Amino acid sequence: MQSRRRLDFYESPELDIIVCPWGFGGTDNLAQEGAHSILGDTELVRALESLKVKVNLIEPPSLGPFEIQEDQNRIRNIEAITSVNHWLREQVYLSRGIGHMPLVLGGDASLSIASISALSKYYREQSKTDSFGVLWFSNHFGNSSPEVTKSWNANRMALTALSYGDSHDKVHEDFRSLISAPDMHYPIVNKKNIVQLGINHRSAQENVEHEYLVMEDLMELGIAGSILIALEKLSHCEHIHVVLDLNVFDLSAVSNYSLGQMNYREAISLARTLDLKLRRMNKLSSIDVVEHCPSREAWDKRGEASEWVVDILENIFGANVFNVARKY
């Protein structure tokens, strides 16, 4: 039996790393630290450039100042979220428009409303077909709404906002603001074009209408096998956006930690499969990295989550952490 050899080099599109360090959609805003932690504590740009990926770093503007809004009958921080998402939507749309691949470093998961809205608009304009899909890694659905949520946090409403229909007359005013975007077609993404993997928290399962695989499935099928099943469910989509909500991994520096999530080897297996089955097939459209909260990281694991992110991204863009020439 021969060992597998290193894969041949496969060139990637020019990569725009969009730094979006806001966490207004979460309970305590700690996800606002995630993007700069990844960039400041690691050598992400250098690592990607060593893989012959041309990287452009898009720094955030000075938005605000924003006041924290706490009201039991309103989406938390809706004005700030709307302003941030407007900027991010423009950046992602411009990135794809010039043929680059957007990589958003967030921030909380409500930012994915903006990035996916921009991508949906772009692909509809290009092909006039429903050819855009979302592969979403998370330990919870994110399908709350003002009618059902107890927290009123926008990061728990992201999936509902993206797959909501066009009858806005009976929904909460703030939720309308959350999903509204100029020149958008609703729903932003059809439910048949969404697959989630890694679900652990299933409290809103009765409201789920899209495909998903839970952690039990991933355990039985393996990570690579589970992703292949997910991609088969999205085989009608020509372009796939990947959301990496870090709470899908067994990391402490995340917004919604739970036991039994993916370990490091499974994370790398995930990345390698995305490289082989999406990037090398010219189907990987873009990536969001969200819900990294460094302040929650255990003292004995400082920097661990940032290092995982770099290793995951390196392997998506052609590296092989299991086949690296190391100095001893």
**pLDDT for position 279:** 96
pLDDT at 324 (0 to 100) = 59
What pLDDT is recorded for position 71? 85
pLDDT of 155: 93
What is the CATH code of the structural domain delimited by 15-316? Answer: 3.40.800.10
pLDDT at res. 328 = 38
pLDDT of residue 327: 42
Secondary structure, 3-state, the chain: CCCCCCCCCCCCCCEEEEECCCCCCCCCCHHHHHHHHHHHHCCHHHHHHCCCCCEEEECCCCCCCCCCCCCCCCCCCHHHHHHHHHHHHHHHHHHHHCCCEEEEECCCCCHHHHHHHHHHHHHHHHHCCCCEEEEEECCECCCCCCCCCCCCCHHHCHHHHHHCCCCCCCCCHHHHHHHCCCCCCCCCCCHHHEEEEEECECCCHHHCCCEEEEHHHHHHHCHHHHHHHHHHHCCCCCEEEEEEEHHHECCCCECCCCCCCECHHHHHHHHHHHHHHCHHHCCEEEEEEECECHHHCCHHHCCHHHHHHHHHHHHHCCCCCCCCCCCC
Average pLDDT per 10 consecutive residues for the chain, totaling 328 residues: 65 94 89 88 88 95 86 90 95 97 96 96 85 94 83 91 73 84 82 94 75 94 95 96 96 85 95 96 97 88 92 94 57
> Given this model, what pLDDT does residue 326 score?
47
